[in-house]
Structure 1
Amino acid sequence: MPDPSVVAVFADLREEGRELDCLVGELPDAQWARPTPAEGWDVARQIAHLHWTDRAALLALTDAEGFAREVEAALKAPDSFVDDGAEEGARLAPAELLARWRAGRQALDRALAAASPDVRFPWYGPPMKAASMAGARLMETWAHGQDVADALGVRRAPTARLRHVARIGVRARDYAYAVRGLPAPEGEFRVELTAADGSGVWAYGPADAPQRVTGPALDFCLLVTQRAHRADLDLAAVGPDADRWLDIAQAFAGPAGQGRAPRGTR
């Protein structure tokens, strides 16, 4: 019998994609060129990036050698391969891009369900099991969906699906230091987040950890996906290392992101 937690993350990924699809599915063509808070990225580039990354995940699950070739290509252009992938898809007509993104999501969903749950598949960061890959795809879908929602002036209600984003953000703590060439702090932090759906507190790390982070789960997710500046979020840190982490946190693989400027300075 499939692990219920694994089945749940697959279902949550489908729902996250469906919610973003509802935002863009009926957009007039002109709105696909609407700029988002990510500099140089319009709505089309956001969706094209998600499609490109979904294709990469599908390749990682089904063709390890083919994915290795993609990694080699990325290493030859580490500063531009992500933008190049988005640019390629954004040149398509919106209807074609939308159709390809939908088909890619369906293909990835089937591959995730068929994948052995105990096998670790290659990725641009550490290898991942299928459930972790689904969580990572959900995180990216939510983050880029936030850019789209901001561009369209839509306020999205936070859901319990954010627990996947929060978990990745916590687990990626040491990566955020490593990608900046910094030593990671010793010991775990305690992270206590007010659940996005109002169901209580999502807690990570030892309860007696001397350094901790607290605040709303939504704010933490916006921080670790670098969709909002720390100054605009209601997050509190106890301890110098926890405080420093909130300045550099990132949940995504790849180079250190530049993040967003505080409101009022954009």
Structure 2
Amino acid sequence: MQNYKRLSRSVQGLTVLITGAGSGMGRATARVFADEGAHVSVTDVNSEAAQAVAGEIEANGGTARAWQLDIGDRDAIPRVVDAVAAHFGGLDIVVNNAGISVRAAIDNPAYDDAWTRGLSVMLTAQQRIIRAALPYLRKSGSPRIVNIASTEALGATALHSAYSAAKAGVTGLTRSLAVELGRDGITVNCICPGPITTAMTARIPDEQKAVYARRRTALNRYGDPEEVAHMTLSLCLPAASFLTGAVIPVDGGLMARNA
């Protein structure tokens, strides 16, 4: 009989870098990883928000440090990644979470700007962060990359073509890098959140959210950021060593529902 292998379900002592961690899903992800004993690098374009999240973690007995990072600044990315690895003595996990809302009609004069900004922040920056982190991930005993996309990569909404294109690019980047980096034992997976209660959706009236959720999702509600964060954690467990190239909707059944 084949021996039973005990695989670790602990990220205790591992170092995770999370972008866009000053609010929403990024903040929830930082808190979840910290609760499980990981060393958390909280990065965000808003330095005060990043500091606040790191302070929350430390106040709850966790280990965290904040860095200001504009992922649209290509020179800042390797500088911050190197600083994180130097501070914590390595880097094991990258969570590409940072994103922006981009909405423009294809015939809008501002469309080119929306397109350029959307792809720069939500797609190009992800590969730059991964490239900067690779030397450290290759030294890790449990290297993980999780890219956050959206269900807009799997379906589409009018006026969001730049956003959808960027998020669809993330799914392609994920699959390709999963194949390329598999020889190094680095897993690369993607989460596509559906309707989640964050600052990005806060401007939508509650009545509209309720109608949308009943009409589109199987669970008839918006999700919480922590529900996405726990899926991210699951993909980063040492035990998740044979899962790579996956694109996973965390959407309350939105993509499964026809009517």
TM-score range, shorter chain: under 0.3
Q: Which has the higher strand share?
A: 2
Higher relative contact order (CA 8 A, sep 6+): 2
Comparing both structures, which one devotes a greater share of its residues to helix?
1
